[in-house]
Structure 1
Amino acid sequence: MEIDDLVWTPDITPGPMVRKTREQFLQQCPPGRQLVACLGPKLVGYLGFDHPTGLASNRHVYELNIAIHPDYQHRGIGRKLMEAMKQQAKADGVRKLSLRVLSTNQTAQAFYERCGFRVQGVLPEEFWLDGRYVDDILMWCPV
């Protein structure tokens, strides 16, 4: 996807996204597990969600990932996707939304905080990126 190539850069994600086939894409992003934002026919953003584990005891949680095309960032699209996600989660009986963000991605951290997320933990020096260790920040939001 064009958005993935533009958004998931080394300063945003610890590794490249590799989906060589349609089957691999559908396995990683199953139907019904993404909200999308379009302006006319153009896909400008998406929010993916799924349960973090296959455990029944963890079915009240959705883990999220979000990407907005750089040309359409800072226009409220991400906030609208998050609002729609919270409504979807409530309808699905989900009580908690969680996500991970690199400590170097302070713009995303601030966005998540504005959407009601807060830090639930930090994995110090979780990744070695561009010659330095980078923390992985775990965030959550009640639904």
Structure 2
Amino acid sequence: MLTSHTYKIRASEMKDANQLMELDMLVWDACNSPAPMQWRSRQQYLQYCPPGSQLIAVQEDRVCGYVGFHPPTGMPVNRHVYEIHIAVHPEYRRSGVATALMRAMKQYAMEQGIQKLRLRVLSSNPGAVAFYEQCGFITEGRLVSEFRIGGRDVDDILMAYFLET
């Protein structure tokens, strides 16, 4: 568990589900996702994001942000990789929450024997691309014009961070 000046980072718990669902609705939009996150129910959310599948930053009892992670496939030959996604509540952006979450994610992944973190980011979100690069991620590939969002072609950028083992 990582503690900062005003928040701590811990694994998600059942009690966090409602706030995490609300954060998804608040954060994910056409600038950073091909489709907004819309959970039909708490049960559906918990099936996709069970407790412990995210590291969350909390201030007192309020969720400030999270980094979700899961193996990209169910194949044993791919279990050394986590696919991740990160979201920070707008009120906590530029406060170090995302950086602390990424640092905690790297540490947690190493403890789990994970060798690679991978993510996808839209070319229409240059701030996120720059953040991931600052965190040491490299571009592995680019799916050109993968999405048409708001009448514009948007690339899907594949990025990775290799953990030292």
Q: TM-score, normalised by structure 2?
A: 0.84
| Corresponding residue number in structure 2 for 1:36 | 56
**Structure 1 residue 78 corresponds to structure 2 residue 98:** yes
Shift of 1:102: 0.2
CA distance, structure 2, for counterparts of residue 22 and residue 11 of structure 1: 25
CA distance, structure 2, for counterparts of residue 106 and residue 65 of structure 1: 16
Instruction: Indicate the RMSD between aligned Cα atoms, in angstroms.
Output: 0.8
Unaligned runs of 5+ in 2: 1-20
Any idea what the Cα deviations from partners look like across 1:16-45, whole Å, max 9, x if unmatched?
Answer: 212111221011112211000011121110
More off after superposition, 9-18 vs 132-141: 9-18
Unaligned runs of 5+ in 1: none
CA distance, structure 2, for counterparts of residue 2 and residue 73 of structure 1: 16
Alignment of 1:1-143 (within 5 A): 1-143=21-163
Letter in 2 for 1:88: Y
Describe the SS at the equivalent of 2:26: helix
More off after superposition, 117-126 vs 16-25: 16-25
More off after superposition, 98-107 vs 38-47: 38-47
Shift of 1:2: 2.4
Shift of 1:54: 0.3
CA distance, structure 1, for counterparts of residue 42 and residue 65 of structure 2: 19
More off after superposition, 106-115 vs 25-34: 25-34
Any idea what the Cα deviations from partners look like across 1:75-116, whole Å, max 9, x if unmatched?
Answer: 111011111111110111100000000001000001101111
CA distance, structure 1, for counterparts of residue 137 and residue 47 of structure 2: 27
Q: TM-score, normalised by structure 1?
A: 0.97
CA distance, structure 2, for counterparts of residue 23 and residue 56 of structure 1: 27
State the number of aligned residues: 143
Any idea what the Cα deviations from partners look like across 1:55-77, whole Å, max 9, x if unmatched?
Answer: 00000000001000011001111
Q: Percent of counterpart pairs with the same letter?
A: 52
Describe the SS at the equivalent of 1:101: strand
